[in-house]
Amino acid sequence: MLPVIALVGRPNVGKSTLFNRLTRTRDAIVADFAGLTRDRHYGTALLDKRQYIVIDTGGLEDSSEGPIFEKMASQTWQAIAEADLVIFLVDGRAGLTGQDQEIGRELRKINKPTLLVANKAEGMKDSAQLAEFYELGLGDVYAVSAAHGQGVRDMLQMAVDKLPPEFDPVDGDEAEVDPEDTTIRIAVAGRPNAGKSTLINAWLGEERLVAFDMPGTTRDAIRVPFQRGEQRYELIDTAGLRRKGQVFEAIEKFSVVKTLQAIEGAQVVVLVIDATQGVTDQDAHIAGFILEAGRAVVIAVNKWDSLDRYQREQLERSIELRLSFMKFAALKHISALKRQGLGPLWTAIDAAYAAATRKMPTAKLTRLLQEAVQYQAPRKAGMYRPKPRYAHQGGMNPPIIVIHGNSLDHLSQSYQRFLETWFRKAFKLEGTPLRIELRTSD
Ligand code: GDP
Ligand code: GDP
């Protein structure tokens, strides 16, 4: 499971600026999709090839009046409590405020690794102004400028060093994937009340499915292994599952942290949408994170049983509009409660996994690329004529296609999308994101 870092602080100290800087590496991937990058509250940061989930808790708080402490919504406190490390951001220019002290008091109570960071400190590293932050009783204060990037990398390093030893890098832990192991790791994600627990219970109660005894809990994360026919699966829990006789029940409510970790740890994510609510902002946020994480996904439109024909049409439109960046995902209408549509859902999960792990031989990729160029050549951009020459597979899960050629920096977005569609069709890549990387030789 990836470590989780929560950014905490009163409004305007620069949390979202710092968040954007820390998570920028992956932003490029989603920048293309209008409306998706605005308002993001979670992302992943990269340090020495290791990933960390970062949550901007400012995005989770409510905007009503009142003391800061009360305004921070329960999701914020829950995220702070579940995070492995807290970065407490203050404004180095404004100095210590009452709100900082209020938050500091709460953070001291929960007794969790915390790094105190003074932002907006460009050119004031040794300033006496920062001394007052020692009053917070949270140890050393570290100066950064999120806007200019000063000190940010060292700060992340310092934060990572404060993580509990269980997160210490193990040699080669990333590479240790058993090629023989075809167990499909599934995470069920979605808003509170979408029907996730009902779906999981319906699965685990299915006659054709054999659930094995639950292994012990590690860091609160539970994995439930089970088998359906010949195929083995492992369910990564997002809500604290507990076995109660033959059924499982969720023992806690929606958790942002568990959802993010489960998505990162999964190979296929089932995104459960509550058909009676339409596609909400929260659904779109979760979908955005799935895309960013590069996970294969199946959209399960649940509670289909309680919609009439008109409502069904409305819903289809809302999905088309708000999840347009996930057109590659299969859409399955189900009723978890009535156990309807579960067979097709399994088929889609298996297909998404197969697509995400598809092998694409270099010869075929290159031939397809050349056919695409012949069908429609890239446009000239000024004095440059981009010329894609050959392609090879750069990775799996999600599939990455690396294209080599000349002047590829000038290949238009629309041409890249054309290529993506071309490859998707040829390799039947339904259910998985596809990444195209360009390597230009001049
Ligand atoms: P949030 O409410 O904590 O998320 O704060 P924002 O990230 O929205 O930043 C609040 C304001 O502070 C914005 O106007 C930013 O441009 C500004 N800001 C953020 N980081 C820095 C910094 O490092 N130096 C300076 N001078 N301004 C910053
Ligand atoms: P979770 O918070 O996502 O785990 O949601 P739950 O599984 O607890 O379900 C929330 C509510 O929706 C419960 O009252 C369920 O009985 C109801 N529900 C779940 N699935 C369906 C369904 O397919 N149809 C209908 N009509 N209700 C459902």
Provide the residue-wise pLDDT of the chain in tens; the chain has 442 residues.
Answer: 789 999 999 989 999 899 989 987 544 444 444 444 445 688 888 888 888 999 988 867 777 777 777 777 777 888 898 899 999 999 999 999 999 999 999 999 988 999 999 999 998 766 778 899 999 999 999 999 999 999 999 999 999 999 988 777 665 444 455 667 789 999 999 988 899 888 988 888 877 666 665 554 444 456 788 889 899 999 887 765 555 665 566 556 677 888 888 999 999 999 999 999 999 888 888 898 898 889 999 999 999 999 999 999 999 999 998 898 899 999 999 999 999 999 999 999 999 999 999 999 999 999 999 999 999 999 998 899 999 999 999 999 999 999 999 999 999 989 999 999 999 999 999 999 999 999 998 7
* Ramachandran region, residue 17 (left: φ > 0; alpha: ψ -120 to 50; beta: rest): alpha
Under CATH, which architecture does the 4-167 domain have? 3-Layer(aba) Sandwich (3.40)
User: Which ligand 1 atom sits nearest the alpha carbon of residue 20?
Assistant: 7
In CATH terms, are 4-167 and 362-440 the same topology? no
Partners of 300 in beta bridges:
272, 332
Neighbours of 247 (CB within 10 A): 13
Phi, psi (deg, nearest 5) at residue 352: -65, -40
Length of the chain counted residue by residue: 442
Measured from the Cα of 201, ligand 2's closest atom is: 7
Q: What is the pLDDT of residue 54?
A: 92
Dihedral sign for Cα 257, 260, 263, 265, please.
negative
Domain ranges of the chain: 4-167, 184-356, 362-440
| Fold category of 184-356 in CATH | Rossmann fold (3.40.50)
| Contacts with 140 (C-beta within 8 Å, 6 or more apart), sequence order | 116, 134
- Rounded CA-CA distance 31/27 in Å is 6
Helix axes 362-375, 413-427, angle to 10 degrees: 130
**Full-model pTM:** 0.82
* Rounded CA separation 119/143 (Å): 6
Assigned token pair, 259? 């959802």
Tell the burial category of 136 from Cβ atoms under 10 Å away from its Cβ (0-12, 13-18, 19+): buried
What is the CB < 6 Å shell around ligand 2? 190, 192-198, 250, 302-303, 305-306, 335-337
pLDDT at site 167: 78
Would the annotation count 190 as a binding residue? yes
pLDDT of the residue at 81: 87
Long-range CB pairs of 308-311, under 8 A, 24+ apart, other chains included: 311/275
What gap in Å lies between CA 33 and CA 35, rounded to an integer? 6
Q: Provide the pairing of β-strand 85-91 with 114-119.
A: parallel
Residue 225 CA to ligand 2 centre (angstroms): 23
Q: Residue 122 annotated as binding?
A: yes
Domain covering 362-440, topology: GMP Synthetase; Chain A, domain 3 (3.30.300)
- Minimum CA distance residue for ligand 1 atom 15: 14
Q: Which residues line ligand 1 (CB under 6 A)?
A: 9, 11-17, 58, 119-120, 122, 145-148
In this predicted complex, what is the ipTM? 0.83
